[in-house]
Amino acid sequence: MSGSGVAENAARCSDDAHRAVGRRPAAGPCWSRNGACSPVIRAVGRGLDDNVVVGSRLVGIATPAAPGSVRLDTGAPRAHPGVVAAPAPLDIPARLRAAGCVFAEDEAAVLWASAQDAEHLESLLTRRLTGEPLEQVVGWAEFSGLRIRVGPGVFVPRRRTEWLVVQALAGLRETPGRPAVLDLCCGSGAVSAALAAASGSRPIEMVAVDCDPTAVACATHNAPTATVLVGDLYAPLPVAWRGRFDIITANAPYVPTDELVDLPSEARLHEPPTALDGGRDGLDVQRRIVAGALEWLAPSGRLLIETGRHQADRTAGLFRAAGLTATVSTDDEIAATVVIGSRPPAPAPARDHRP
């Protein structure tokens, strides 16, 4: 990925530039990633990384869910019907469109539904017009059917990371008893919240870690059943937890440092650099995660790391060099790539062959 050049970077923006999924298609600060919707607008239908144009009216309204999160009706068949929001005043879509918003009507509906009064609406609109991500403006993003709280300066969860959740759930189904899960670089806690919600009545022991206290505050709200810690990767974990985790997930930063300048301004200016910058080749944080995994994984435990498609072979190589198996799993529809590795099972006790 490193040194790929502007042309290749532009070509892969929709599937490999970490957490930022496209270039601005129109003038002004309010563009849509890859010509598709943000996670908020995706509550209307399909969106982020989809390249699917949604309709012009908001149909996603919060419906009750687990504590700390809210499920959304996204327009797809669900147990709870959606409610159509009132249309926004006509001048709001026009102002958004003039600023370059691709989905101006949808964004206007979200802002309108989020505003407490006219003055608040104008405040939200002004923030959006200056280029602040819509999710941070309204305070939430849709992820795996959940409404995830995000705030200014917090990394906005992307749809592609739902594939990390899918693969982690597959591992959990094969884990007996009460599994222990560690979510590194947890950000807003979207992955932790999604895993807890999808596990239903089955108890899981969830631990989430991030180095950003602001993100940790969001994660504590979004994943109230998890133990959420502030710190650098494994550093805040008690020594007694070594060898404890059946699943370790990580959506670590993987944009090469010299390619940060090519990221969309919404990510570059409004999300923390620690959530984006993966070092010279984009793999610096991944190396540290993989290097420490064997110490914290239970026998036969699994490590899952989201990565860029063009980085997948190198990420898998890190797994193998550390003594883990490595399998690359992709979902072309949402441009997602996850490398999955397992710790070898504990050796069977030696048999005594003495007569």
The residue written with tokens 């159509």 in the block is 84
Taking every pair of C-alpha atoms in the chain, what is the biggest distance, in angstroms? 91
Find how far residue 350's CA is from the centre of its chain: 44
Distances in Å between the alpha carbon of 187 and those of 93, 117, 219?
Answer: 31, 31, 7
Residues 312 and 207 in one domain: yes
Confidence bin at 201 (pLDDT 50/70/90): confident
Residues 190 and 308 in one domain: yes
Domain end: 138, 169, 195, which one? 138
**267 assigned to some structural domain:** yes
**318 assigned to some structural domain:** yes
Among 39-53, 203-217, 307-321, the range scoring the smallest mean pLDDT is 39-53
Query: At 184, which helix (H) or strand (E)?
Result: strand 180-184
Confidence bin at 344 (pLDDT 50/70/90): confident
Residues 175 and 319 in one domain: yes
Residues 164 and 299 in one domain: yes
Q: What percent of the chain has pLDDT over 70?
A: 72
Residues 129 and 175 in one domain: no
Residues 225 and 323 in one domain: yes
What does the alpha-carbon distance between residue 346 and residue 79 come to, in Å, rounded to a whole number? 43
- Classify residue 177 by burial, with Cβ atoms within 10 Å: 0-12, 13-18, 19+: exposed
What does the alpha-carbon distance between residue 355 and residue 94 come to, in Å, rounded to a whole number? 89
CA gyration radius, the chain = 21
Q: What is the pLDDT of residues 64-86, one digit of tens each?
A: 333 333 333 323 322 233 334 55
**264 assigned to some structural domain:** yes
Question: Phi and psi (nearest 5°) for 72?
Answer: -120, 145
**pLDDT at position 50:** 28
Residues 212 and 305 in one domain: yes
Residues 168 and 264 in one domain: yes
**14 assigned to some structural domain:** no
User: Partners of 228 in the beta sheet?
Assistant: 208
**234 assigned to some structural domain:** yes
Residues 309 and 257 in one domain: yes
Among 51-60, 83-92, 281-290, 342-351, the range scoring the smallest mean pLDDT is 51-60
Q: What is the pLDDT of residues 42-68, one digit of tens each?
A: 544 322 232 222 222 222 223 333 333
**348 assigned to some structural domain:** no
- List all residues 6 or more positions away from 90 whose beta carbon is below 8 Å from its beta carbon: none
What does the alpha-carbon distance between residue 284 and residue 80 come to, in Å, rounded to a whole number? 43
Residues 276 and 165 in one domain: yes
The helices-and-strands tally (H runs, E runs) of the chain is: 11, 11
Residues 127 and 231 in one domain: no
The CATH number of the domain holding residue 209 is 3.40.50.150
SS3 299: strand
Give the closest residue to 147 by CA, choosing from 113, 181, 103: 113
Which domain, by its residues, includes 298?
159-342
Give the closest residue to 255 by CA, choosing from 155, 164, 112, 188: 155
What the block records as the tokens of 141 is: 């993003």
Residues 178 and 60 in one domain: no
Q: What is the pLDDT of residues 132-181, one digit of tens each?
A: 999 999 999 999 999 999 999 999 999 999 999 999 999 999 999 999 99
Half-sphere exposure of 191 (CA within 13 A, CB side): 36
Say what the pTM is: 0.77
What does the alpha-carbon distance between residue 51 and residue 56 come to, in Å, rounded to a whole number? 15
**231 assigned to some structural domain:** yes
Domain end: 75, 104, 138, which one? 138
**How many domains does the chain fold into?**
2
- List all residues 6 or more positions away from 352 whose beta carbon is below 8 Å from its beta carbon: none
Q: What is the pLDDT of residues 114-136, one digit of tens each?
A: 999 999 999 999 999 999 999 99
* Pairing verdict, β 70-72 and 146-149: antiparallel
Rounded to 5 degrees, what angle do the CA atoms 200, 191, 344 make? 90
Domain end: 108, 138, 168, which one? 138
**27 assigned to some structural domain:** yes
